[in-house]
Amino acid sequence: MALLHSCRLLTAPRFAAAAAARASSWWSHVEMGPPDPILGVTEAFKRDTNSKKMNLGVGAYRDDNGKPYVLNCVRKAEATIASKKMDKEYLPIGGLADFTRASAELALGENSEAFKSGRYVTVQGISGTGSLRIGANFLQRFFKSSRDVYLPKPSWGNHTPIFRDAGLQLQAYRYYDPKTCSLDFSGAMDDISKIPEKSIILLHACAHNPTGVDPRQEQWKELAATVKKRNLLVYFDMAYQGFASGDINRDAWAVRYFIEQGINVILSQSYAKNMGLYGERAGAFTVICSDAEEAKRVESQLKILIRPMYSNPPLNGARIASIILNTPDLRKEWLVEVKGMADRIISMRTQLVSNLKKEGSSHNWQHITDQIGMFCFTGLKPEQVEQLIKEFSIYMTKDGRISVAGVTSGNVGYLAHAIHQVTK
Q: Which residues does the annotation mark as catalytic?
A: 156, 237, 273
Q: Give percent helix, percent strand, percent coil of the chain, each to the nearest 5.
A: 50, 15, 35
Q: What letter would DSSP give residue 84?
A: T
Q: How far is CA 182 from the centre of its chain?
A: 20
Contacts of 292 (CB under 8 A, 6+ apart): 117, 118, 119
Q: Would you say 134 and 306 are in contact if contact means Cβ atoms under 8 Å apart? A: yes
* C-alpha to C-alpha distance for 21 and 37, rounded to whole angstroms: 33
Q: What angle do CA 212, 218, 223 make, to 5 degrees?
A: 75
* C-alpha to C-alpha distance for 188 and 202, rounded to whole angstroms: 12
Kind plus residue range of the DSSP H or E element containing 30: none
CB atoms within 10 A of CB 309: 14
Q: Would you say 143 and 200 are in contact if contact means Cβ atoms under 8 Å apart? A: yes
* C-alpha to C-alpha distance for 137 and 125, rounded to whole angstroms: 13
| Helix segments in 50-181, DSSP class H | 72-83, 97-108, 113-117, 127-142, 159-165
The DSSP string of 372-405 is: -SSEEE----HHHHHHHHHHH-EE--TT-EEEGG
CB atoms within 10 A of CB 387: 17
CB atoms within 10 A of CB 353: 19
* C-alpha to C-alpha distance for 211 and 244, rounded to whole angstroms: 13
